[in-house]
Structure 1
Amino acid sequence: MSSPQTVTFPSRNYKLAGHFYSPAAGSPHRSGAAIVIAHPWTSIKEQSPANYARILTQAGFTCLTFDAAYQGESEGEPRDLEDPYQRVEDIKCAVTYLISRKDVNSEKIGVLGICASGGYAPFAAQTDLRIKAVATSAAVCVGTMARRGFDQDTSNMDILKTQLEAAGKDRNSDVGGEKVPIVHLLPEKPEDAPAELPESFRDLMNYYRTPRAFHPRATNTSLPRSWDIMGNFDAFAHNDMISPRPLLMITGTKAATKWYSEDGVQKAEEPKELYVIDGLTHADLYDKVDEAGAKCVEFFGKSLV
């Protein structure tokens, strides 16, 4: 895959940093079909989005990856804020950027969201009719995760209450209140991991905090005030509004988050598909992407014609 073009585009008042990938030489002609690829929470464009862009461009698609506002190389203060509504706006503005380009067909734009963006991408498509097809990989709704955690049959409300108290203190620090420590989502190093670390977090740690995918701009941190924005967000509640445009949600049999994709598909109307890859965990879907990427090629190939 050739090196992508470095681009920028606005999202509200912020300048976002992106990578624009042209179709690979000799790849199938897709008549300007293009895919926005949005990254997971605490991640950046150089990680899992680049892996999917490699497969999609080899299949003839144009791809745009980017760092969310407040994160990576994009603008936005305070740094390391996770704001679902800004993240959705970022996706919509990425679509606008693609429409501005003469080498993109504005009627053939799809979105692929990974992990947290697997919630943001459907949410964006529910009301942005310019998005003609939506795919997700290892999807998570950050609001549901804040309220219920990773497991389907649990409640996280006691923990969320503590997080919301920290969020309030974090906001107060803007006017002289005490500083609240930033949240480290994973152990900084595998050797720092406690023995009781849940397997779902160990799966993520083995991706982000090891040479497998470590990147200095993927900070593993999030501001406490993020939780009072995420706490009542619901990515999939109106997935029925995506129809008659198609929805594909990809997960793995070993993904602790598999039930999120099942929930997202259940709340959608046809055409929709849940595609489950045998043997893959949540983080496996970030870099073991041959099958998931091939499925995306098939899906967008049929949807963006």
Structure 2
Amino acid sequence: MSSPQKVTFLARNWKLAGHFYPPAPGSPNRSGAAVIICHPWTSIKEQSPANYARVLTQAGFTCLTYDAAYQGESEGEPRDLEDPYQRVEDIKCAVTYLVSRQDVNSDKIGVLGICASGGYAPFATQTDLRIKACATSAAVCVGTMSRRGYDKDSSNLEILKTQLEAAGKDRNSDVGGEKVPIVHMLPPKPEDAPEGFPDSFRDLMNYYRTPRAHHPRATNTCLPRSWDIMGNFDAFAHIDMISPRPLLMITGTKAATKWYSEDAVEKAKQPKELYVVDGLTHADLYDHVDEAGAKCAEFFAKSLV
């Protein structure tokens, strides 16, 4: 895959840094079909989105990846804020950017969301009819995760209360209140993981905190005030509104987050599909993308025609 073109576009007046990938030479002619690929929470465009872009451009699709506002190379203050509604706006503005390009067919734009963006992409698609097809990989809803955690039958409300108290202190620091430490989502190195560190977080640590995907701009940090924006967000409450446009949700048999995709697909209306990759964990779907990427290519080939 050749190096992508560096591009920028605006989302609520923040300039977002993107990578524009044209179809690979000799790939099938998709008549200007394009896919926006959105990164996980605390991640950047150079990680999992680039892996999926490699597969999709080889299948003939134009791809756009970008850093969310407040993160990576994109503008936005305060830094390291995770705002679901801004994240959704980023996607819609990415659509507008593609519409502006002569080498993209405005009637053939799809979106692929990974991890947290597996919640943001369907949420954006529900009300942005310019998006003709939506796919997700290892999807989660950050709001549901804030309230319930990783496990389907768990409750995270006591922890969320503590996080909301920290969010309030974080906001107060803007007017002279006590500074609240930024949240480090993962240990700096695998050997720093405490005893009993959950397997679901160890899975992420073994991706982000090792040579497998380490990148200096992916700090895996988040501002405490993010939680009072995420706390009542629900990506999938109205996922039925995507219909009659198609929805594909990909997960792995070993993914701790598998139930998020299962529940979302159950709520959605046809056409919809749950595709489960055998043997893969949540983080495996970030870089073990041959099967998941091929499935996405098949899906968009049928959907963006």
Q: TM-score range by the shorter chain?
A: over 0.9
Aligned residue identity for 1:50: A
**In the TM superposition, what is the alpha-carbon distance from 1:246 to its structure 2 partner?**
0.2
| Partner Cα separation in structure 2 for residue 84 and residue 66 of structure 1 | 16
Deviations 1:120-164 (A, max 9, x none): 000000000000000000000000000000000000000000000
1:67-82, aligned counterparts within 5 Å? 67-82=67-82
Could you tell me how far 1:225 is from its partner in structure 2?
A: 0.1
Correspondence for 1:125: 125
Listed as ranges, the matches of 1:1-305 within 5 Å are 1-305=1-305
How big is the shift at 1:188?
1.0
CA-to-partner distance for each residue in 1:250-284, whole Å, 9 max, x for gaps? Answer: 00000000000001101100000000011000000
Cα distance in 2 for partners of 1:77, 1:12 equals 12
Secondary structure (helix, strand or coil) at the match of 1:63 reads strand
SS of equivalent to 1:282: coil
TM superposition shift of 1:80: 0.1
Amino acid aligned to 2:6 = T
CA offsets 1:196-228 (integer angstroms, 9 cap, x no match) = 100000000000000000000001100000000
Offset of 1:302 from its aligned partner? 0.2
- Partners of 1:25 and 1:274 lie apart in 2 by 31
Once the two structures are superposed, what CA deviation does each residue of 1:76-106 show, in whole Å capped at 9, x if it has no partner?
A: 0000000000000000000000000000000
TM-score, with structure 1 as normaliser: 1.00
* Percentage of identical aligned residues: 87
1:188 & 1:221 partners in 2: Cα distance?
Answer: 11
SS of 1:217's equivalent in the other structure is coil
SS in 1 for 2:129: coil
Alpha-carbon deviations, 1:57-77, whole Å to 9, x = none?
Answer: 000000000000000000000
Instruction: Write the distance in 2 (CA, Å) between the matches of 1:227 and 1:154.
Output: 18
| Gaps in structure 1 of 5+ consecutive residues | none
Q: Deviations over 1:159-218 (max 9, x none)?
A: 000000000000000000000000000111111101210000000000000000000000
Partner letter of residue 89 of structure 2?
E
**What is the CA–CA distance in structure 2 between the aligned matches of 1:161 and 1:191, rounded to whole Å?**
30
Distance in 2 (CA, whole Å) between partners of 1:97 and 1:267 is 31
Normalising by structure 2, report the TM-score.
1.00
Over 3 Å off, 4+ runs: none
Q: Give distance in 1, aligned partners of 2:267 and 2:144.
A: 14
Root-mean-square deviation (Å): 0.3
